[in-house]
A and B are shown apart, each in its own frame.
Chain A
Amino acid sequence: MNKVPAPDPDASLVELARGGDYSAFEQLVTRHSQRIYGLAVSILRNREDAEEASQKAFISALEHLPSFRGESPFGGWLSRIAANAALEILRQRKHHLELSDTPGDGGDEGLPKPVFVADWSHDPSELAEQVETRAILDRALDSLDAKYRAIFVLRDVEGMSTGETAKILEISVANAKVRLLRARLLMREKLTEIFGDPATRPIHEHHHD
């Protein structure tokens, strides 16, 4: 069965904008600002930098609009531009953590083994409703190295494919997969320490051979 892609909700505004209608472009900006800022601030963890990345992203989108042919949704195209803008700022920062492959990225050795394991005492949709959860998610994002944070945000928050993400991060697909797994395991550890019900911790360490 062939999956018919959903029509792009931005298609008509994009057409107008490509035809030179600047106010149509401004509407697209308004529509996507919050999401793009969210992407940038999740990666950069700094408001000023995230604002700068957002501005660069939309300016670049306007510049490249003539070459956008609508083969994929506008929102996704914009997200890729924004991701690149955020990563460029990361790369420019002093003291910053390498985004490219480092030794140890290649294999399964050194995957962060789960330490605190417990059932979460609430469902994610319940937790998402709570005001404190935003602060907890922020802390969890802060606890990750930039390279893990970037891949987690692009893959699991923005929903980009492994291929797209690997391209943006300039790493191989194989490395992107291992890096994402590491990021997810680190995130799991952090969040389970907070949300896990200690009463549900498995008591016995099973040794399966």
Chain B
Amino acid sequence: MSKCEKLLGSLGDYLDGELEATLCAEIEAHMKGCDKCRLVVDNLKKTVKLFKSGKPVPLPAGFSDRLHRAIKEKRTGAR
């Protein structure tokens, strides 16, 4: 197994800042000499960032009316 493949499994914890220091240093040292891994890590960070910064999904027409009505009906039904 290449070093790249070996480190792949640790990337989740690395991205979440939960990787213990020695492995963290190992990944960072490896990335200095490996463009592919450096880009993969960068891609992963950008992927998460893109979804986090995504605009809110537009609500379907009439959604709010139907929602408020459904809650109200359930509420009065329960009395």
Contact = CB atoms under 8 A, between A and B. Distances in A.
A134 B2 contact: no
Contacts of B30: 208
A151 to B, nearest CB: 11
A37 B56 CA distance: 9
Interface in A139-157: 152, 156-157
Interface in B29-79: 30, 33-36, 39-40, 42-44, 46-57, 59-60, 63-64, 66-68, 70-71, 74-75, 78
Contact of A114 (B40, B63, B70, B75): B40
A-B complex: 3 closest residue pairs judged by Cβ atoms: A208-B3, A108-B9, A181-B12
Nearest to B42: A119
Contacts of B11: 181, 185
Interface of B is mostly: helix
8 contacts: A37-B59, A51-B60, A63-B78, A124-B49, A133-B54, A180-B12, A202-B36, A205-B36
A114 B47 contact: no
Contacts of B59: 33-34, 37
Given A117-B39, A134-B54, A184-B12, 4 more contacts: A29-B71, A42-B57, A137-B51, A188-B43
A59 B60 CA distance: 19
B8 A111 contact: yes
Interface in A109-124: 111, 113-114, 117-120, 123-124
Given A59-B74, A134-B54, A184-B47, A54 B9 contact: no
B15 to A, nearest CB: 8
A69 interface: no
Interface residues of B, number: 45
Interface residues of A, number: 59
Interface of B: 2-5, 8-9, 11-13, 15-16, 30, 33-36, 39-40, 42-44, 46-57, 59-60, 63-64, 66-68, 70-71, 74-75, 78
Nearest to B51: A157
B56 A124 contact: no
Interface centre among A137, A157, A206 (most CB of B within 10 A): A206
B54 A191 contact: no
A157 B8 contact: no
Interface of A: 22, 26, 29-30, 33-35, 37-38, 41-42, 47, 51, 54-55, 58-59, 62-63, 108, 111, 113-114, 117-120, 123-125, 127-128, 133-134, 137, 152, 156-157, 159, 162, 177-178, 180-181, 184-185, 187-188, 191-192, 195-196, 200, 202, 205-209
Given A33-B59, A128-B53, A134-B54, A120 B46 contact: yes
